[in-house]
Structure 1
Amino acid sequence: MFASRFAGWRLLFALAAALAAAHAAAQEFPSKTVRLVNPFPPGGPLDIIGRTLTERLSASLGTTVIVENRPGAAGNIGAAEVAKAPPDGHTLLLTLYSIVTSNPHLYAKLAFDPLKDFAPVTALATTDSVLIAHPSLPASSVAELIAYARANPGKLNYASAGKASPGHIAGEFFRNLTGTQLTHVPYKGNAEAVRSVLAGETQLMFTPSTVTIPHAKSGKLKVLGVYLTEAIDELPGARSLGAQGVAGFDAKSQPFWYGLLAPAGTPSNVIARINADTVKALRDEKVSGALKKARIFVIGNSPEEFAAMIREGHAAWGRVIRDTGVKGE
């Protein structure tokens, strides 16, 4: 009986200590530099978002806010670092949807639980995407591409940022929906993959429109269709894949967003503070305007709304990955 009572007291002390630590963290935030960990290489949309926000967040939080790149393993290395960080608000994850929605279906073993080891802060933004082609490809529409691919099975190569990347999954999803045979060529990052299409090493790529529009306008690339949107003003005449007959290739089946996550256990008032300051920064006209020029469209919602987006995305991407059979390494 004494042992049982002693164990009970130990449990109460442990709970009290945990509550005291959480309270202390909440009271002290921020007490040092806030790190926004980007789990992908520099130069991509997440980098643009993070570095656009740092000045505003540094001013509102009253401390230095920096972006640190921790690339590798489809974003899982940087995500694992944040998942294991102290839950005090000083280490946050700039995340692509894939880390918490598609990666759980792609990788049998992860160093973190994507749905349990993070606390949602806010969805930062979304973007639109394009199916680009090298100008030498004898197709100017999705219908012509499908016809050519069926007549030449396996001869067309499509580039992606890497195995199990969003572009890889999109390419396999397109193959499934259209009954075509395309060969996947993975590269190390999105920029390298786009360069391969520009050089004619590969013929196709499914990619965010951010860096491709200037090349399309100059004639170095052609856009066969757009997706995750119905149209792009800068690309008049480029119709959505859905409008061109590829039903189901849309934002509902492939939810795409960028978000901000904290380690699980971060005090709720710290989450609320970071959310309020981040949403305020996103809604600043200079910030939203600068991001829009890069084809990045701000969201800025509540932690609860973002949590719902994560759950819906997890289910949607699970269906796509099961249908395509894509696996991570």
Structure 2
Amino acid sequence: MNFRKNRLSTGQAKQIDLVAYLALLGYKSSKVRNNSHWYYSPLHQEKTPSFVVNRSKNVWYDFGIGKGGSIIDFGILYHKTTIPELLQLLSDGNFLPLVQRPGSTNAEKTEETGKIKIVGNSKLSSPSLLSYIESRGIPLATAEQYCREVRFEISGKNYFGIGFQNDSGGYEIRNPYFKSGSSPKDITTLSIGSDSIAVFEGFFDFLSYQAIREELPRPSTDYLILNSLSFFEKALVPLKEYQSVHLYLDNNDAGRKCTEKALSISAKFKDESGLYRGHEDLNDFLLARRNNPFKKQRKGLRIG
């Protein structure tokens, strides 16, 4: 990463309103008591909100992992980066907008102004986005087939990212430092009229599946991308129409719980996570295979 000379100092970064910053990352507080804003933790999966921001002091604490601190401490954990890289990220208008300082607005207004408005889309062309796609192990041709470069507005400022459209016209948006989505939120379905369907948690898992599938004969199957596990219940309605449903959900507590629930509903649901056993998800598996080519086991791949 090339650092700009005028990037924020640590002191300046610590003045960024944590509540506004979390809103721009797509996290809304579940409850507010005086200066305490409670969230489901952005740092790990949980059923009860354990992540709290003291807005008057502009600090956070995550009771689930026993860690806390300033926006610097949070950013390092959330973005998995270094202090210099985080400071550059917070200074870089190409990706993540700077938010207003504490006291300049209230939480409700911050969350409202932090909404994403799509202002345009085009073929993927930004060098930074193309580099990000390559870093995730996705062939450019695959990304171009299913994704667009979207331009979006937050709080009057314009940004761009990789957009994956859902069935209601909203977009899941990703770039190296931003992960969120525009309204309306929904699942994404891709149908060729098959009686079999493959289900994925996020669109990078779907793209990873396409990259792996290119090594083998292409099966005839439909696809459903949840875009969020919270849409699993909704997805059960269209999934009723299929004879077989192949689940490629994440190998974490939330993903496994969702898979187990599906398996208990009907025998037509098939857990395919064994394909990427030992890895967090399909993209993690794809990257491991790319970085360790001798570990590729084509006989072990079960696609479709």
Q: Same fold, TM exceeding 0.5?
A: no
- Say which structure is richer in helix: 1
- Return the index of the structure with the highest Cα Rg: 1
TM-score (norm 2): 0.35
* Higher RCO (CA-CA < 8 Å; seq separation 6+): 1
